[in-house]
Amino acid sequence: MKQRTVESVNLTPMIDIVFQMIIFFVFTLDLEREKFDEDITIPDAPNAQEIKEFEPATVYPQVLKDGQIQVGTAIYDPASFQNLIRGTVKRFGQKVPVMIYADGQTKHKDIKRVMDICSSEGLYKINIVGLIEKSN
């Protein structure tokens, strides 16, 4: 009597799908996206102009609830922040946009301080960021 061999499952289509998914993720990966503090709750502004593309050489100061200034993951005191802005202006000019991320509970005097520093170094494209839609 012949022994029938167990039919093996063809895995080739699964491998194809896995490669398709990898290609999708590679193309949608954005390593340059700026990281923002998760503790900041940005106020809603659904009617303002949507940010479609982030311009290169943009400054993203984050103003926390307690008034601290954060750029990226580093906290700056006002003097260091002014040095940072000065260096940015020296390198990229005064047309560099400033996108201020501030928590809803932040007092205006702390945001004013950031805007004053930027204005004193000649930056004039000052924007306040709002939230249109949260992803999750």
Partner 1 sequence: MSKRKNTRRVRSTKRQIEDVPMTPMIDVVFQMLIYFVLTFEIPDKMSQMQVWRPAGESAASTSEPVELMRITVYEDYYALNDTRVSVETLERTFNRLADLNPSQNMIVVATAESRHEKLVVVLNLLSKAGLTSVSLLSSN
Binding site for partner 1 (CB under 8 A): 15, 18-19, 21-22, 25-26, 28-30, 33, 42-51, 63, 99, 102-109, 111-112, 115-116, 119, 124-136
Q: Confirm if 71 and 99 have CB atoms less than 8 A apart.
A: no
Q: How far is the CB of 76 from partner 1 (least distance, A)?
A: 18
d(CA 111, CA 88): 19
d(CA 6, CA 13): 20
- Choose between 48 and 57: whose C-beta lies nearer to partner 1: 48
- Choose between 76 and 130: whose C-beta lies nearer to partner 1: 130
- Burial zone of 115 (CB within 10 Å; 0-12 exposed, 13-18 middle, 19+ buried): middle
- Choose between 1 and 133: whose C-beta lies nearer to partner 1: 133
